[in-house]
Amino acid sequence: MTGGNQYVVAAYAVIWFLVLAYVVMLGARTARVGRQVEAITRMLDREAAESDPPKGDDG
Amino acid sequence: MPSSTTDHASRRVIGARAALIWGVIATVLVTVASVGVFLVAPEDADQGVIQRIFYFHVAIALVSLVAFAVACVAGILFLRTRNLRWDDVSVTAVRIGILFSVLVIITGSIWAKASWGTWWVWADPRLVTYLIVVLIYAAYFVLRSSVDDDRRLRFSATYAIVGFVSVPLSFYSVRVAQSFVHPVVFTSGGANMPNSMLIWFLISLAAMLALFIALLEVELVGRRTERALRALTLRLESS
């Protein structure tokens, strides 16, 4: 690979790597949201299992 | 379920669909642009193969300025409406703008090393003013993390608007200061390149613009979903 080609490959590799890293970061955030959804689902399941009466004015 | 909640949920779904569509468009355009830049575009007679850095470097630079413009407009809309959606757009546009700016600086430095034999030229107004723009927008996040709640939103919006003043300064500095190091490809007289290169530059520009919109849409969907989940968690914990 010539010197010129090396620079071109390096420039485009940086672009694709950083964009990919950013997309991975977005994916990690989506995964975190997914875990939160699971936590809420578990919370709702627990509440349903306890089968308490509807919340009233019990002070 | 109340109709407003249903509408809100529908909007979120539509947002996710838009993100998916823009993701596909960006992927196709980036692939086409990459193939064109490497395999179809003619080699520059003067600079040779290293000129191929130009296509994405300049496209990303222009889109980074577009991102800061979007942040500015969203900041204005937030201050006028106090709608959190505009704060989301503003902060996300700044974040992507900084990502693109970092790419511009790195690819520019590589190109400079190959072309001029040095990584950076401090005497060049285009390079220095662009770096100042990046530092100004990097400070946006320092400000945003240093104040809380309502003030954070107002200060961020104001900063996004005021910070945008630096963008035209950077854009026109090279013309006003008569830079001899950094080339000016696009002048009032048109593009200084043959059409066979211009077409691939325009496709690269469209690809980077689509990538920006796709990343913006994905982040916005994520932020909206996170906020909705936080509100839901608080409601469940307090019930």
CB of B60 within 8 Å of a chain A CB? The answer is yes
Identify the DSSP state of B3.
Answer: H
ipTM surpassing 0.85, yes or no?
A: no
**B2 found inside a domain:** no
- Which pLDDT value is given to residue B127? 85
- Chain A positions touching chain B (beta carbons under 8 Å): 2-5, 7-8, 10-12, 14-15, 18-19, 22-23, 26, 29-30, 33, 36-37, 39-40, 43-44, 47, 55
> Domain containing B104: what range?
16-217
The H-or-E segment that residue B196 falls in is helix B195-238
pLDDT in tens, B157-188: 999 999 999 888 887 776 676 655 666 677 66
**B225 found inside a domain:** no
**B230 found inside a domain:** no
Closest CA to B66 of B209, B214, B187, B216: B209
Structure tokens at B176: 């006003």
Do the chains contact at A7 and B53, CB–CB below 8 Å?
yes
Chain B residues in contact with A55 by the CB 8 A cut-off are 239
A-B Cβ pairs (cutoff 8 Å, strict):
71
Contacts of B65 (CB under 8 A, 6+ apart): B97, B167, B170, B171
Q: Rounded to the nearest 5 degrees, what angle is found at the Cα of B77, between the Cα atoms of B73 and B78?
A: 115
Q: Rounded to the nearest 5 degrees, what angle is found at the Cα of A12, between the Cα atoms of B122 and B220?
A: 95
pLDDT at residue B213 tops 90: yes
**B4 found inside a domain:** no
Do the chains contact at B233 and A4, CB–CB below 8 Å?
no
Contact B107, A11 (CB under 8 A): yes
User: Can you tell me the distance from the alpha carbon of B53 to that of B26, in angstroms, rounded to the nearest whole number?
Assistant: 19
**Phi, psi for residue B99 in degrees, rounded to 5:** -55, -50
Do the chains contact at A36 and B57, CB–CB below 8 Å?
no
Burial, A3: exposed, middle or buried (Cβ in 10 Å; 0-12, 13-18, 19+)? exposed
**Phi, psi for residue B223 in degrees, rounded to 5:** -65, -45
Q: How many domains does chain B have?
A: 1
**B6 found inside a domain:** no
Q: What is the CATH number of the domain that holds B198?
A: 1.20.120
**B228 found inside a domain:** no
**B239 found inside a domain:** no
pLDDT band at A53 (very low <50, low <70, confident <90, very high): low
**B231 found inside a domain:** no
Contact B61, B104 (CB under 8 A): yes
Higher model confidence: residue A56 or residue B76? B76
Do the chains contact at A15 and B107, CB–CB below 8 Å?
yes
Q: Which is it for strands B186-187 and B190-191: parallel, antiparallel or unpaired?
A: antiparallel
**Measured CA distances, A39 to A15, B4, B181, B233, B239 (Å):** 36, 25, 57, 9, 16
Contacts of B28 (CB under 8 A, 6+ apart): none
- Which pLDDT value is given to residue B10? 46
- Which pLDDT value is given to residue B71? 96
3-state secondary structure of B147: coil
